[in-house]
Amino acid sequence: MKKLVDLRNITKSFGSQIVLDDLNLYIRENEFLTLLGPSGCGKTTTLRILGGFETPDTGSVIFDGSDITKLPPNKRQLNTVFQKYALFTHMTIAENIAFGLKIKHKPASYVKDKIKYALKLVNLDGFENRMPDSLSGGQQQRIAIARAIVNEPKLLLLDEPLGALDLKLRQDMQYELIRLKNELGITFIYVTHDQEEALTMSDTIVVMNQGYIQQIGTPESIYNEPENAFVADFIGDSNIIASTMIEDRLVQILGARFACVDEGFGRNKPVDVVIRPEDVELTLPEQGTIRGEVTHLIFKGVHYEMEVLANGFEWLVHSTKMFPVGTQVGIQVDPFNIQIMNKPESEDEEAVGVNE
Amino acid sequence: MIKSSVRKLYIALIFIFLYAPIVTLMVLSFNASRSRAKWGGFTLKWYRELFQNEVILAALSNTLLIALLSSLIATLIGTIACISMQAMKRRTRAVMMGVTNIPMLNAEIVTGISLMLLFITLGMKFGFLTILLAHITFNIPYVILSVMPRFKQLNPSTYEAALDLGASPLRAFFMVVFPDILPGVVSGFLMAFTMSLDDFIITHFTKGPGIDTLSTKIYSEVKKGIKPEMYALSAIIFTAVLVLLFLVNYIPKENKEKKEK
Amino acid sequence: MNRKALSAPYLFWITAFIVIPLGMVLYYGLTDKTGAFTLENIIAIATAEHSKALWIAIKFSLESTVICLLLAYPLAMILAGMQISQHSFIVFIFILPMWMNFLLRTLAWQTLLEKSGVINNILGFLHLPALNIINTPAAIILGMVYNFLPFMVLPIYNSLTKIDPNVINAARDLGANSVQTFARITLPLSLPGVISGITMVFVPALTTFVISTLLGGSKILLIGNVIEQEFTQAGNWHLGSGLSIVLMLFILINMILTAIFDKDGEGNAL
């Protein structure tokens, strides 16, 4: 697929604080790409550079084949759905949606049709003459989306659009957004700090931290094969354990040897190991690779969450089987579920530490 | 807990205290006797004579013209200042706001004499222009004080949303930002207008011999005795403002309700 | 749109009409007629005549500030408790009198206070002793309280309405009675408003020359009257500026105290 957006060597700092450091990223046409990371990681700045609200210190933004780095926002063929909606509170819903079209001097009948179409698309038919204040948060969010998409942008930027909604509504809107994207066939760039949102909706996830891209990949690859401790820790719960790679396909974790599937790390090399809590299997003590004792137990609905103290490490375990506190258990891990990561080497990488 | 009747009585007493002089002046404007102290029967004479008294009418027109011009110019400068301060660094803005507040916090007499010394040094002729400049100066803080909070409440994204939808910066400002700050601009203007109208001290130091506003005219009459036409005039002004403010406060609301239905 | 360029007109204005004029007051106050540096105009405050005028002004303005505070605080509490939907209505009622000329309003008190004036008629009717305060310090203080009371009420009212009712409820919930709630919660939270009100009453009261002229029968000279006369009658701008500098020192002290207590500028009145 064709590249729609290409960010080349983007650097941006505010005062002495470097927000983006030599960022390179391209977005393909018709992709749902999510920039994911904790606050201050540079994701919103990246989006604002795309929208034209910030100019990068160095580097260039290529959009649909032309350089738009210096182009003001009102001249760009893309639209933004803002955090907290940014509806014009003194205008009706219809006036809000018509705003961009009227600026472009579209004929009245066209504008009217577009408003109707957009409201239908976001399931808010008949809301034309309401004022934004009279709408619920979820409805305002839909209007903000309608206002952006009537302009038929090639690219829609969404800045944590669901952040202000409650959980149930947020989940509904996630499906809604996927549906919208499929119906409209335009490219979405979505910014969020919510990993679940990112995993649910995206074709591609870009995990960012402290101005650097940590990993780019599909939701599955980001979740199953995190490339470093930051990504592993940020995406879902995980057990990250400093270990030693004995040789190919064999790793020593907390003094015990586990079979794994990774190769090419060298011999006796210090590494980080990621094991998802649902991948830790609890067995009878004598059947486990290592032994431990259950120290905490919480019922979470779909599973039990337990903590198991084994060889000096608190293992986080998700299991549908319940082991009461105090039970002696064994721990086993399927070789495919052990993810080996290189220890950070440079200082820059060190900076992207686990404790965000 | 204090009983509600005691509270009502207390409020009533304070309001009598605040409005007693105003009622007194209104009564005096219908007093046939020239003396303030005696009631000489009801008359409308002073209202008739008011409109033939050219000195008072001239003072009135000066007062209104200066109030209108100074508050308009102050509103313009103040609003632009607020816009420009949004783009400033925190510290620069704090310094600007500090200087802005000086005329409000400082004694009026000091502001008056400082401007007087400036105009003398510049060799300006004391008159309409010097009063106008002085009034603009002390009006600006009131405008900024009432416009600035509007900018703080403003959702910065709405301006960006307008740009994003294709509006030029100027157009985005007038279509999206301005309607939001407008209430602040209007109340700043009204505040400035009121302050200018009611000012005596600063006008006293910046006026020339040939020109008077209502305040300076009244001050010059204190020793000889205030002309009852003045009472008539201030009663008219007060009533007019009361009616106007009543209309402004109640009419737009009805319109709004209709629009929402 | 280059927003920074927009600041030019305002920068020019505050420099030309605020900063430079204040500089001129300093210049005149610190020089004599030949333009040579001197502290004489400042030291002149120590003369019997001037120090008396300053002392009276401080005394009167402190008294009227205290009276304003005592009158305004209960009033602001009652108003804040009335749950009036229109916050602007309260402001409106206190601003409204300003549309009647300030000099006339103050003069009207003469009519009200005169020996055979309205107030004494009412007092006589109630068989109470007559009030003879016209042309006395009491009349000046009354004039100050009358003119500046709104500037005390509005900031206190503002700061009281900003208090989250749940904070008060929480205090009651934790066992505080109404007096304790007031002393420990309401009063400290409304302090910025009180401080701001004190400044807004104290400074104009300290520096007025009009109220003393109108209600004091020209017998009582405040520091404001002395400065005014130096400028408009005696024509000694140097002395007038010197005394103004002394006056500004008091205002400055007041402002510093305000800044210490009201860091966020929350108490701003209008």
- How far apart, in whole angstroms, are the C-alpha atoms of residue C243 and residue C223? 8
- How far apart, in whole angstroms, are the C-alpha atoms of residue B4 and residue B2? 6
Distance from CA of C40 to the nearest CA of B (A): 19
Contact B194 C99 (CB under 8 A): yes
pLDDT score recorded for residue C58: 93
User: Is pLDDT at A346 greater than 60 in this prediction?
Assistant: no
What are A181's two structure tokens? Answer: 């994207």
Contact C21 B87 (CB under 8 A): no
Tell me, what's the ipTM?
A: 0.84
Interface check for C17 against chain B (CB to CB < 8 A): the answer is yes
Task: For residue B175, list chain A residues with Cβ-Cβ distance below 8 A.
Answer: 88, 99
What are the phi and psi torsion angles at B51 (to 5°)?
A: -75, -5
pLDDT score recorded for residue B35: 73
pLDDT score recorded for residue B260: 40
Interface check for C96 against chain B (CB to CB < 8 A): the answer is yes
Q: What mean pLDDT value characterizes chain A?
A: 89
Contact C111 B36 (CB under 8 A): yes
User: Is pLDDT at C20 greater than 80 in this prediction?
Assistant: yes
Contact B218 C101 (CB under 8 A): yes
- How far apart, in whole angstroms, are the C-alpha atoms of residue B28 and residue B40? 10
One-letter-per-residue 3-state SS of chain A? CCEEEEEEEEEEEECCEEEEEEEEEEEECCCEEEEECCCCCCHHHHHHHHHCCCCCCEEEEEECCEECCCCCHHHCCEEEECCCCCCCCCCCHHHHHHHHHHHCCCCHHHHHHHHHHHHHHCCCCCCCCCCHHHCCHHHHHHHHHHHHHCCCCCEEEEECCCCCCCHHHHHHHHHHHHHHHHHHCCEEEEEECCHHHHHHHCCEEEEEECCEEEEEECHHHHHHCCCCHHHHHHCCCCEEEEEEEEECCEEEECCEEEECCCCCCCCCEEEEEEECHHHEEEECHHHCCEEEEEEEEEECCCCEEEEEEECCEEEEEEECCCCCCCCEEEEEECHHHCEEEECCCCHHHHHCCCCC
pLDDT score recorded for residue C69: 96
Structure pTM? 0.76
User: Is pLDDT at A354 greater than 60 in this prediction?
Assistant: no
User: Is pLDDT at A280 greater than 90 in this prediction?
Assistant: yes
Read off the pLDDT of each residue in C21-47 and give the average, rounded to a whole number. 89
Contact B11 C75 (CB under 8 A): yes
Distance from CA of A324 to the nearest CA of B (A): 52
pLDDT score recorded for residue B156: 80
CB B105 within 8 A of CB C255: yes
Contact A72 B169 (CB under 8 A): yes
pLDDT tens digits, one per residue of A316-336: 999 999 999 999 999 999 999
How far are the Cα atoms of A56, A98, B112, B127, B208 from residue B205, in angstroms, in the given order? 54, 55, 5, 11, 9
What are C255's two structure tokens? Answer: 């402002």
Contact B99 C107 (CB under 8 A): no
How far are the Cα atoms of B85, B94, B177, C149 from residue B90, in angstroms, in the given order? 9, 6, 21, 34
pLDDT in tens, chain B (261 residues): 557 788 889 988 998 999 999 998 888 889 888 777 677 788 888 898 888 888 889 999 999 999 999 999 999 999 999 988 887 888 888 888 888 888 888 889 999 999 999 999 999 999 999 999 999 999 999 999 999 988 888 888 889 999 999 999 889 999 999 998 999 999 999 889 988 988 999 999 999 888 999 999 999 888 788 888 888 998 998 898 888 877 876 665 544 444 443
Q: Which of B65-74, B178-187, C49-58, C160-169 has the lowest mean pLDDT?
A: C160-169
pLDDT score recorded for residue A203: 94
What are C74's two structure tokens? Answer: 């209960």
Closest residue in B to A89 (Cα) is B180
Contact B109 C207 (CB under 8 A): yes
pLDDT tens digits, one per residue of C88-145: 677 778 878 878 888 888 888 888 887 777 787 788 788 878 777 878 899 999 999 9
Chains A and B, touching by 3 or more CB pairs within 8 angstroms: yes
pLDDT score recorded for residue C28: 92
Interface check for A74 against chain B (CB to CB < 8 A): the answer is yes
Read off the pLDDT of each residue in A82-94 and give the average, rounded to a whole number. 87
pLDDT score recorded for residue C267: 42
Neighbours of C9 (CB within 10 A): 14
Contact residues for C190 (Cβ-Cβ < 8 A; gap 6+): C76, C156, C159, C160, C163
pLDDT tens digits, one per residue of A122-136: 889 999 999 998 999
- How far apart, in whole angstroms, are the C-alpha atoms of residue C76 and residue C154? 8
Interface check for A84 against chain B (CB to CB < 8 A): the answer is yes
pLDDT score recorded for residue A167: 83
How far are the Cα atoms of A7, A13, A27 from residue A69, in angstroms, in the given order? 9, 16, 16
- A345 — pLDDT class (breaks 50, 70, 90): low
Proportion of chain A above pLDDT 70, given as a percent: 96
What are A184's two structure tokens? Answer: 């409209």
pLDDT score recorded for residue B44: 87
pLDDT tens digits, one per residue of A162-205: 887 888 888 888 998 999 898 888 999 999 998 889 999 999 99
Neighbours of A297 (CB within 10 A): 16
Hey, is B127 helix, strand or coil? coil
Task: For residue B184, list chain A residues with Cβ-Cβ distance below 8 A.
Answer: none
Neighbours of A15 (CB within 10 A): 7
Closest residue in B to C214 (Cα) is B222
pLDDT tens digits, one per residue of C61-86: 999 999 999 999 999 988 888 766 66
Interface test with A, best of B89, B90, B165 (most A CBs within 10 A): B165
Bridge partner list, A328: A293
pLDDT score recorded for residue B93: 86
Angle between the N-to-C axes of helices C237-261 and C187-207, in degrees from 0 to 180, rounded to the nearest 10: 180
Q: Locate tokens 């500028």: which residue?
A: C265
